[in-house]
Amino acid sequence: MALSDKNEMIEIGIITSSVGIKGEVRVTLYAGESDNLVKGARLTLKKGKLTKEGTVASIRYQGGRPVVKFEGTNDRNAADELRDYELFIAESDLAELSPGEFYIRDLIGFDVYDMNSDSIVGIVSDYIQNRAQALWEVTTPEDKSVLIPDVDAFVKNIDAEKRVIEVALIPGFLE
């Protein structure tokens, strides 16, 4: 799938707190994992109307979550000031994906087709990750919202060329 504007800024996460006394911050990534948050990555940090540029000096993981140190952020006070800043990366700087991998934002607008009922469920309108399991939000032709778990039992295939996500829903799922 061709991406349109390579200068678009893509939100990848948020700084949630400072860690220790050396200027590190804890980051919550919206993708769970990301090859975009690496040493040397140039990010834009935004909080309301405030904007800063930052370069990742180092990254480590603590409890499965990234802990990042930005260049020039050398103590806890400086790290505390970064709390609640959202992290953005230029689309042109996004990591290349392996075949069969997708950025979720590129799948918004795809048709969702139920293989069991041989019918269109609707169109992907969002992807929700702040639950026990990730969910596809699909808007039906009747303008209703349906949440489909993003698990192999339901999601069977993603065809980027045809812009279709094939699912296998159990009887009564849409009722």
First to last CA, the chain: 33
Assess if CATH 3.40.1280.10 describes domain 9-92: no
Domain ranges of the chain: 9-92, 104-167
Closest CA to 36 of 101, 106, 89, 115: 89
Q: 3-class DSSP state for residue 75?
A: coil
Question: pLDDT digit string (tens) for 153-166?
Answer: 999 999 988 999 99
Question: Which residue bears the tokens 């009722």?
Answer: 175
Please check the confidence at residue 85 and state whether its pLDDT lies above 60. Answer: yes
Assess if CATH 2.30.30.240 describes domain 104-167: yes
Record the pTM. Answer: 0.68
